[in-house]
Structure 1
């Protein structure tokens, strides 16, 4: 399956580094959710990696490992402009030194984003704090995408509704 094409404005938002919430579900369809500590967008959105802190995301990681299903919500705190991506074949791996620049870039971007809504950088650093050895990279090709910005188009499929 080809990845969903994303509008340029939403792709730029994701590439910049905004708030990311990641979810999955277990075999009984019980949801699990966690805040990502980083993200990486490649190939114009054809590959997405979200970084999760293992201690904070045990259930989400267990669910993704069991069924491959992942949903990631990228949201700009100052405007609530939001996009949701879904996939059914996510892959997990332990983060390594090559991921450090992406984590550092994400932290800097989130410090700026959270500062725009009136909070100190220290809050962001505390919220995203983790050791590299604790980070798991979850990589997927978006199969479905939705505009989740509050308003009349919230929930509308992107990229032809696949």
Structure 2
């Protein structure tokens, strides 16, 4: 049996990714390198920090889900709107799973947090709720092992690989 992968995330990064109010998108591409992207609705990190699960709309994310089924490739970019702090993760083993009732509740908390965060920045809460609208039965989960992590915060370190202290 192969040894478990060493996590590239630490507790602080996991907390950043999972805070309600975070903005994030998920992208992929097919074998033909054509990109797909969708706004995500929630995120959870496994207790051992080795897996990330992102929640999204099955309908809005249909092209991305097809690409993930074909290649397993995924990239997720997490941004805190008030500061523009941003993190990008990449993986190659993404797989679709049904969303649990806990996942649906998590998506609701993320949606409420994002609406509140952007509302405090002066954006219309009604508009943000419309952008994030998704029936509970349409939510699907994508689970993956992050293999690469990059700072995407604007500035001199944007695009640099993160080195997680152990």
Both proteins in one fold, TM over 0.5: yes
* Pick aligned residue for 1:56 from 35, 60, 66: 60
3-state DSSP class of the match of 1:43? coil
CA displacement at 1:80 relative to structure 2: 0.7
CA displacement at 1:37 relative to structure 2: 1.8
- In structure 2, the partner of 1:12 is 15
Q: Tell me the distance in 1 between the aligned counterparts of 2:141 and 2:98.
A: 6
CA displacement at 1:96 relative to structure 2: 2.8
Q: Deviations over 1:59-107 (max 9, x none)?
A: 1000001111100000011111000000000110121323122112111
CA displacement at 1:132 relative to structure 2: 1.7
* Pick aligned residue for 1:157 from 137, 143, 161: 161
Q: Tell me the distance in 1 between the aligned counterparts of 2:128 and 2:48.
A: 27
TM superposition score normalised by structure 2: 0.88
Distance 1:7 1:41, change over 3 A: closer
Runs of 4+ in 1 over 4 A off after TM superposition: none
CA displacement at 1:44 relative to structure 2: 6.0
- In structure 2, the partner of 1:88 is 92
CA displacement at 1:55 relative to structure 2: 1.2
Q: Which runs of 5+ in 2 are unaligned?
A: none
Structure 2 contact 11–49 (Cα < 8 Å) conserved = no
State the superposition RMSD in angstroms: 1.6
Q: Which runs of 5+ in 1 are unaligned?
A: none
- In structure 2, the partner of 1:39 is 43
Aligned residues: 159
Q: Tell me the distance in 2 between the aligned counterparts of 1:78 and 1:144.
A: 25
Structure 2 contact 151–159 (Cα < 8 Å) conserved = yes
Structure with the largest fraction of helix: 1
